[in-house]
Amino acid sequence: MKRLETENLDCGYSGRNVLENINLHITPGSILGLIGPNGAGKSTLLNTLARMIKPKKGKVILASKDLWKISSREAASTMAFTPQDSGSALPLTIRQFVALGRAPHRGWLLPFSCEDRDIVEDALEKTGLSDLAERCITELSGGEQQRAALARVLAQEPEVLLLDEPTSHLDIKYQTEILDLVANLAHDRGISVIISIHDLNTAALYSDHLALVGKGGIASYGTPADVLKEEIISEVYDIPVIVTSHPLFGTPMVMPGAKSRAGQKIINL
Ligand SMILES: Nc1ncnc2c1ncn2[C@@H]1O[C@H](COP(=O)(O)OP(=O)(O)OP(=O)(O)O)[C@@H](O)[C@H]1O
């Protein structure tokens, strides 16, 4: 399985660095969770890792090669990315949209093989979309669109999977099912997964390692227990928090450590 890493990476937009000196590596078969406050740079980093934004300095390295020195097809046959709110403006059915995931493997002009069809049907089934497969992608709820986006990257059969808030529109059942599926891909098939998640407790449950994005770089990196410490989270999110542990799994659980002003207002009404 192929390894993704960064070397002294600066990323951002014209004239402005959002993150500097990022040195990350993701071990095949593991999940790296990206957490951090709004606007910290999680999407900017994922887009840079996915070859959507060129690094301002340093490198993204895929399987020991500079990502910008390999062809986009080679990158796409190894690495799949779902950006935030990744739907399609084209009036495709869900099945057609998911089938696009096969393009890097068979080229745009070659006919679909039986294997391609089986892979697409399997991706639809795993994301609970088989019964909706003929629905138009532009007419789906936010959660259905997120499941379709995940089905498309499953059909791509990547070795490295980059997911930007893939569960933000999902209810607790689909959130659990989709993240269980992602965890199986990582741990059983050896895929490297980098996933941004706002919910710190969900990130703790599913990530082998966490990178806390903040203050213009990686503010903390390590296991969930290393990173989800009261002093670290309070400082980077600028809010008091309490950290306890999950009653079944023992993973850290973060909750607000002071009543919000909004909460007090409601009580005083
Ligand atoms: N296309 C763009 N051009 C210029 N600046 C941008 C662009 N996209 C994002 N930014 C800025 O870059 C910074 C990082 O944004 P980014 O979307 O990466 O943060 P994030 O951690 O993913 O935030 P959120 O949790 O709110 O999704 C922000 O200040 C944002 O305003």
Residue type, 5: E
For residue 79, the tally of other CB atoms under 10 A from its CB is 26
Which of ligand 1's atoms lies nearest the C-alpha of 45?
Answer: 18
pLDDT at residue number 89: 72
Distance, CA of 113 to CA of 126 (rounded, Å): 20
Higher pLDDT, 199 or 83: 199
| Structural domains of the chain sorted by starting position, each given as residue range(s) with its CATH number in brackets | 1-78+159-258 (3.40.50.300), 85-157 (no CATH)
Q: Nearest C-alpha to atom 16 of ligand 1 is from which residue? A: 41
pLDDT in tens, 12-58: 999 899 999 999 999 899 999 999 999 999 999 999 999 999 999 99
Give the predicted TM-score (pTM) of the model.
Answer: 0.90
Distance, CA of 176 to CA of 153 (rounded, Å): 18
Give percent of the chain above pLDDT 70.
93
Ligand 1 centre distance from Cα of residue 131 (Å) = 36
Helices 142-155, 114-126: inter-axial angle, 10-degree rounding: 140
Distance, CA of 264 to CA of 163 (rounded, Å): 36
Cα 191–chain centre separation:
13
Asked if the model's pLDDT at residue 86 lies above 70, the reply is no
Q: Nearest C-alpha to atom 29 of ligand 1 is from which residue? A: 39
ipTM surpasses 0.85: yes
Q: What number of residues does the chain have?
A: 269
SS3 130: helix
pLDDT at residue number 84: 82
User: How many helices (DSSP H) and strands (DSSP E) are in the chain?
Assistant: 11, 13
Which of ligand 1's atoms lies nearest the C-alpha of 213?
Answer: 21
- Please check whether residue 144 is in contact with residue 129, taking contact to mean a CB–CB distance below 8 angstroms: yes
Assign 207 a pLDDT band (cuts: 50, 70, 90).
Answer: very high
Distance, CA of 153 to CA of 79 (rounded, Å): 9
Ligand 1 first shell, C-beta below 6 A: 13, 18, 36, 38-44
Q: Nearest C-alpha to atom 24 of ligand 1 is from which residue? A: 38
Tell me which of 11, 17, 44, 215 to substitute to probe ligand 1's pocket, judged by most ligand atoms within 8 Å of the beta carbon: 44
Average pLDDT, the chain: 90
